[in-house]
């Protein structure tokens, strides 16, 4: 006796995860203090989030973070591990393999190892015990991406003249 899926359409309705893609570059307006890329719907669930660095950013310690930046100058990652190292492009382990986030330390969690997704780092680093995802949107404050020297929206400008990345958000509307 095997498992069978209930009949229905191909997804996209309530209860079906949606992967959202938001490209941004080094000179995206507001990138230093937080460029608004997505406005959530109240009650929706954030299942995961990650930044894919397609072209490494130059400049002084370009560090990324994602959040609302409403009551804090940091987002999801700065408080748990130092932010996303934007100076290192994602890469493959072989020419036909999937694209992975680059991390200075693949063994332990610490500063700038958040090439992983939010789900992969939940509970690690200085913010141990903090669960970033899943998370419920309790306001319609926009989700922003910030790149500064420390990943905060109050950080110094890294002075980048190149760099491209994509923010991915996986959300679901509860059924």
Residues 16-70 have pLDDT tens digits of 999 999 999 999 999 999 999 999 999 999 998 889 999 999 999 999 999 999 8
Q: For strands 84-85 and 35-38, give the pairing.
A: unpaired
pLDDT value, residue 169: 94
Domain ranges across the chain: 18-172
**DSSP secondary structure letters along 6-64:** PS--SS-STT--EEEEEEEETT-TTTTT-EEEE-PPTT-EEEEEEEEEEE---SS--EE
Q: Tell me: pLDDT of 172 over 60.
A: yes
pLDDT at 132 over 80: no
Least confident of 38-52, 101-115, 125-139: 101-115
Task: Determine the Cα angle at 167 with ends 157 and 117, to 5°.
Answer: 105
Range with the poorest average pLDDT among 115-124, 127-136, 138-147, 159-168? 115-124
Contacts of 100 (CB under 8 A, 6+ apart): 90, 91, 92, 93, 115
Q: Closest Cα partner for 151 from 69, 37, 49?
A: 69
Question: Is the pLDDT score of 103 beyond 70?
Answer: no
Q: With 80 as the cut, is the pLDDT of residue 71 above it?
A: yes
Give the model's confidence band at 76: pLDDT under 50 very low, under 70 low, under 90 confident, else very high. confident
> With bands split at pLDDT 50, 70 and 90, how would you rate the model's confidence at 95?
low
d(CA 128, CA 80): 7
pLDDT at 87: 93
Q: Write down the pTM of the prediction.
A: 0.78
Q: Are 18 and 137 in contact (CB under 8 A)?
A: no
Average pLDDT of the residues in 134-140? 92
């Amino acid at each position: 006796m095997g498992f069978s899926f209930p009949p229905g359409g191909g997804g996209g309705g309530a209860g079906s995860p949606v992967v959202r893609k938001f490209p941004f570059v080094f000179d995206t307006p507001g990138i230093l203090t937080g460029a608004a890329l997505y406005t959530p719907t109240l009650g929706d669930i954030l299942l995961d989030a990650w930044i894919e660095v397609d072209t490494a950013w130059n400049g002084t310690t370009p560090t990324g973070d994602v959040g609302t930046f409403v009551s804090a100058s940091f987002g999801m990652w700065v408080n748990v591990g130092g932010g996303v190292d934007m100076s290192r492009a994602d890469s493959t382990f072989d020419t036909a393999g999937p694209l992975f986030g680059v991390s200075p330390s693949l063994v332990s969690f610490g500063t700038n190892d958040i090439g992983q997704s939010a789900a992969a780092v939940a509970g690690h680093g200085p913010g141990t015990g903090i669960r970033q995802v899943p998370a419920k949107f309790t306001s319609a404050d926009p989700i922003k991406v910030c790149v500064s020297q420390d990943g905060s929206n109050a950080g110094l400008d890294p002075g980048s003249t190149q760099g491209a990345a994509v923010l991915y958000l996986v959300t679901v509307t509860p059924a």
